[in-house]
Amino acid sequence: MYETSFYSLLLSPFLLLAITKLLKHAILTSHRNLPPSPLALPILGHLHLLKQPLHRTLYNLSKCHGPIFSLRFGSHRVVVLSFTSAVEECFGKNDVVLANRPRLALGKYVGYNSTGLGLSPYGPHWRNLRRLVTLDLFSSSSLNASTGIRRDEVKLSLRKLYHVSACGNFIKVEMKSMFSELVFNIVMRLVAGKRYYGGGDEASGIEEAKEFRELIEELCELAVSSYPGDFLPVLQWIDYNGHIKRLKKAGRKADKFLQGLVDEHRSNKDAFKKKNTMLSHLLTLQESEPEYYSDETIKALIL
């Protein structure tokens, strides 16, 4: 027993030295090729440095650390580029290497576990979606065919402005919301053959339009909000600030609304096919490849 204790005491310093060397080697290796970086706080990294306006903050950091520098947002490493040639090198010659996207809580709970084109990681699924969008859904012929929709929506917006100014008095018009409504109407007419803002012949039911507007408002609010759990995963386990609960609720609402559109198109196939909507085209593809173009894939793509 005493002999065992003696050997344990003898080996302990060597084990401690070996572990220390391994940790030191791992740290040095992981930081060997990284650009310069400001001092970071434990756990938080450089999150405390991010202040609005963000572009000013990054510009000030580039003056101190050069045109290429690295930051650590919690558990995520970020490299900031501030000159054109480096951006072209990264997103031109090495675009495949940098094609992945961060795994965010928004994509998990609202974006069907990041299966849509904008959130999906680079791989066969993403390449197939990109091919579909580039060569089919948003091809030159498809965009030319939708010219009439864009023209109609612009006319309706101008008519709305005319009616507002018809009284002859000076009236303030909120152009930001007006342009947002214009874009959403164009997009939804292309996707589902419906418009949800304003009147017009294509206007959908009042309740459905109200549901859509409330959903868009909620999703936009969640999309622009910063969630610390994306950078510090431990916060997702405790649902910091109830954000995950809100995401799950919004995800269920979005899924219910989108599934309603899919089911409506499926039951009125001929009527929507005449409008040449994106949903009707995707459902046609589903008939030939049901194992790939599932309802979930279709909903993730149009989201």
What confidence tens digit (pLDDT) does each residue in 204-240 have? 577 888 899 999 999 999 988 888 888 888 787 888 7
Query: Is the confidence at residue 248, as pLDDT, over 90?
Result: yes
pLDDT of res. 31: 54
CA 124 to the chain's CA centroid: 19
Reduce the DSSP state of residue 72 to 3 states and report it: strand
DSSP 8-class letter at 91: I
What single letter denotes the amino acid at residue 40? A
Separation between Cα atoms, residue 56 and residue 69, nearest integer Å? 15
Please tell me which residue, 77 or 201, carries the higher pLDDT value. 77
Spell out the alpha helix ranges (H) of 89-146. Answer: 105-109, 124-132, 140-145
Reduce the DSSP state of residue 297 to 3 states and report it: helix
SS3 breakdown of the chain: % helix, strand, coil, rounded to 5? 65, 5, 30
What confidence tens digit (pLDDT) does each residue in 159-173 have? 888 887 777 677 787
Q: What is the mean pLDDT of residues 286-300?
A: 87
What single letter denotes the amino acid at residue 62? S
User: Residue 252: enclosing H or E segment and its boundaries?
Assistant: helix 243-267
Query: Is the confidence at residue 67, as pLDDT, over 90?
Result: no
Tokens matching residue 203: 């206007």
Enter the pTM of the model. Answer: 0.77
Residue 123 contacts by C-beta under 8 Å, 6 or more apart in sequence?
Answer: none
- Average pLDDT value for the chain: 81
Query: Is the confidence at residue 289, as pLDDT, over 90?
Result: no
For the chain, give every domain's residue range. 36-98, 124-145+205-302
Separation between Cα atoms, residue 62 and residue 82, nearest integer Å? 7
CA 90 to the chain's CA centroid: 20
Tokens matching residue 131: 């091919």
